[in-house]
Amino acid sequence: MVKSVSVGLLGLGTVGSGVVKIIENHQDKLMHQVGCPVEIKKVAVRDRDKKRDVALPEAVLTTNVEEVIHDPDIDVVIEVMGGVEETRQYILTALKNGKHVITANKDLMALYGTELLSVASEHGCDLFYEASVAGGIPILRSLVDGLASDRITKMMGIVNGTTNYILTKMSKFHRAYDEALAEAQELGYAEADPTADVEGLDAARKMAILARLGFSMNIDLQDVYVKGITEITEEDINYSKRLGYTMKLIGIAHRDGDKVEVSVQPTLLPETHPLASVNDEYNAVYVYGEAVGETMFYGPGAGSLPTATSVVSDLVAVVKNMRLGVNGRSAVTPQYDKQLKEDSEIYSKYFLRIHVKDQVGAFAKITSLFSERGVSFEKILQLPLNQKDLAEIVLVTHQASLKDYRDVLQQLRDLEVVEEVKSSYRVEGEGAL
């Protein structure tokens, strides 16, 4: 049986430092859980001389990644350096050298998860990535283990802390998008280039990972429909509230029969929906199983310590497997062929805000367009605008197929009485709470 475990780290940023701290501060607890000492043998960094808040012996640091992934004494490689193409090669090499790998890298797992998991399995290695989705929430393990005997039909998640922070500020403190973004950047919740977050790409990566695991299907990143939050205005948020909704960036993975849809888009949730009260930088994932009904996992989505904690949980799992000699068996091969829903099979309610010319019969022209496609309304507001003889119409439709809704939108834009389609969002049905 394994007597001690040597770990190599790729990267020593905030997450890497967190991992080092937890391993050092919790040696007793780790010993108790895995039954042997865990030692950090080598850490690959970009700059040896950078000042850090963890004290590691000089000899542990190296600027050469190869020294970690080829070191025969290293059992487990923890990748917290980020990046995709180069990092993928490092991880492939580590796996081929028989090292177990733990990664917090959602970009990598969303793009190359299938390949990496299969190489890991070939070489009898574990590849764990709990920290890649909703940092502090053990959602992947819960999907694999806890809900093992259930058939998951729907997952809904707030899986990006930056956008949730921005939308919370816009909703609760009437900030404009730009102000809220600037504030998030100041606090370190958003990066200098926030594109990946605010355009929904980060959330899409996580939804691809969740859908792949939860539906046991090879969902690729390009299968996820993505719309970000950059076009959300104060008006949209105010109307949402007036209609009893909260605006959130929601990732949805939904299975009907054998077909699935996965998307990330701004969504109006009923205020009573449990996800509506997930605020600031917090994340939450709602899971609907046929047997178990609704469950929700809530926690910090990012942050040095929560993410590092997930990484160390994975490390504990790897070391236990090592001591039991059972590594490389936990990667679940996708069980179902990928079948994506057509637009005519994706149903939802929609919020729509349009500016129309304030003339007789305009409203009738618009509503008849909807009724021709069988799309009916749940809520309608019509208000005069203080400009240009325009009126503003806000609609919430009943369930409609995406195909019908898109057709209606297109025809609306072509209508002479329609000045502009200002905004359009998905609306989620009444929450169960």
State the binding site for NADPH: 106
Nearest to 281 by CA among 431, 167, 137, 157: 167
Q: Taking CB under 8 A as the criterion, which residues in 351-380 touch a copy of itself?
A: none
Please list, in sequence order, all residues whose beta carbon lies within 8 angstroms of the beta carbon of residue 89, skipping any fewer than 6 positions away. Answer: none
Per-residue contact string for residues 17-56; x = within reach of a copy of itself by CB under 8 A: -x---x---x--xx-xx-----------------------
Q: Give me the phi and psi of 18, to 5 degrees please.
A: -60, -45
Q: Considering only residues 41, 70, 96, 141, which one is a binding residue for a copy of itself as defined by CB under 8 A?
A: 141
Q: Which is nearer to a copy of itself, 283 or 401 (CB)?
A: 283
Please list, in sequence order, all residues whose beta carbon lies within 8 angstroms of the beta carbon of residue 255, skipping any fewer than 6 positions away. Answer: 152, 153, 154, 215
Structure tokens at 364: 């009738």
Q: Contact between 297 and a copy of itself (CB under 8 A)?
A: yes
Structure tokens at 178: 């730009």
In this structure, are residues 409 and 424 in contact, taking their beta carbons and an 8 Å threshold? yes
Q: Taking CB under 8 A as the criterion, which residues in 257-276 touch a copy of itself?
A: 274
Catalytic residues, by residue number, are: 206
Cβ 323 to a copy of itself shortest distance, Å: 9
Q: Considering only residues 84, 187, 326, 364, which one is a binding residue for a copy of itself as defined by CB under 8 A?
A: 326
Q: Contact between 303 and a copy of itself (CB under 8 A)?
A: yes
Annotated binding residues for L-homoserine, as ranges?
A: 191
Mapped onto helix, strand or coil, the DSSP state of residue 391 is strand
397 bridge partner residues: 377
365 bridge partner residues: none
Q: Which is nearer to a copy of itself, 30 or 375 (CB)?
A: 30
Residues, the chain: 433
Q: Considering only residues 292, 390, 409, 421, which one is a binding residue for a copy of itself as defined by CB under 8 A?
A: 292
Q: Contact between 214 and a copy of itself (CB under 8 A)?
A: no
Q: Contact between 299 and a copy of itself (CB under 8 A)?
A: yes
In this structure, are residues 131 and 107 in contact, taking their beta carbons and an 8 Å threshold? no
Residues 177, 72: Cα–Cα separation, whole Å? 51
Q: Taking CB under 8 A as the criterion, which residues in 111-140 touch a copy of itself?
A: 130, 136-138
DSSP letter assigned to residue 145: I
Positions in the binding site for a copy of itself (CB under 8 A): 18, 22, 26, 29-30, 32-33, 130, 136-138, 141-142, 145-151, 216, 274, 277-280, 282, 284, 289, 291-300, 303, 305-306, 308-310, 312-313, 315-317, 324, 326, 329, 332, 335, 433
